[in-house]
Structure 1
Amino acid sequence: MSELTLVVGSKNYSSWSLRPYLALAHTGQPFREVLVPLDTPETAALIALHSPSGRVPVLKHGDTVVWDSLSICEYLAEAFPEAKLWPEDRAMRAMARSVTSEMHSGFTALRTNLPMDLLARKTVPGVDAPGVHADIARIQALWAGCRERYGKGGPFLFGAFSIADAFFAPVVTRFVTYGVPFRPENAAYRDAVLGLPAMLKWTEAAQGEPPLARYR
């Protein structure tokens, strides 16, 4: 079997790296991890050794190189169908892809003003920036709606863990970091995401990282 390698950025801050990491861990496949510290003088050169786009994450599977978080997750779903990274039901799968794509391309106000800072606990003026409350409300409604309609068989958005959960996991951490209240019906979802073994492992590894320059 071809070796799997996932190139990721600093674990405290790289939301895009966390997503495929959770999906890859869910497949149960052994993989090698390459960590590139972000915002250092060497970062660009180190990423260029692996990534044609100059960004992380990057998945290497034998001679195949895949970049962009969603493309990596889609590749994993095709390469390891037994992991069931998308729901098997067609309607559920369509909804899971829709909410994942919305996360992938949307919520700009939230991303800009509440960047991932995994281990921090703080409040910032950005919570009240234009558009942030609307993004938060939309995300909370998505979580509640998916779990109410599709999540009866488990604690995640579509019952079992899926790529949709991998994509919203960094948002769960953002809400915790900045003290954003979870709607009561979403508390169980928060706990399920934060309790994933792969999430716990990622968080533990993040504890030894130096802060990025912009956070010092």
Structure 2
Amino acid sequence: MTPDAALAMLTGLGFGLSLIVAIGAQNAFVLRQGLLREHVLPVVVVCAASDAVLIVAGIAGLGSLLDLAPWLVDVMRVAGAAFLLTYAVLAARRAWRPGAVDARADRTGTRLWPVVTTAVALTWLNPHVYLDTVVLLGSVADTHGDDRWWFGAGAVAGSVIWFTALGFGARLLQPVFVKPSAWRVLDAVIAAVMVVIAVTLLHGLGG
């Protein structure tokens, strides 16, 4: 690896982390699964692998296709907002009903496939991930010329590091979540985050 390639990789690592560390629907879901210790590895793999695919697509030039079909972004905005609002209602219901929180271990959502499907939907139905990862990250990677794939490797590494730390590191907060009231607060915050993101998606229609 040349010095320029190493610099590109470190830059990609930092830039990738700057895009995914912000509070969002995906991170909130990974955090919750980490606290529950339910299917954490599959969720981390889905999120990190999805990011890797999108990063590769962005560096390969997929972002130009979105410029040619702006209507596709609007379709994703509506679909993503609908899903987020549905998830917000479920989170708000858990926050409003303490019994639902206490019985969290018995919910059907603890099965693997519903959890994985939710992780996939929160990732791929969010148009922001395409605008940030495919368009923005792909454009920045192009500035590194032949080393753009090293930049992409750094961004992928950042995604793996972040989701692994968030999912498996969440257990360090478990002493706080011994009380059902803490889960109610978390679910209320998650519901609010989902609603805010959904509103911003709909607000950007046609923009």
Q: Which has the higher contact order (CA 8 A, sep 6+)?
A: 2
Larger radius of gyration: 2
Q: Which has the higher strand share?
A: 1
TM-score (norm 2): 0.27
TM-score (norm 1): 0.26
Q: Which has the higher helix share?
A: 2
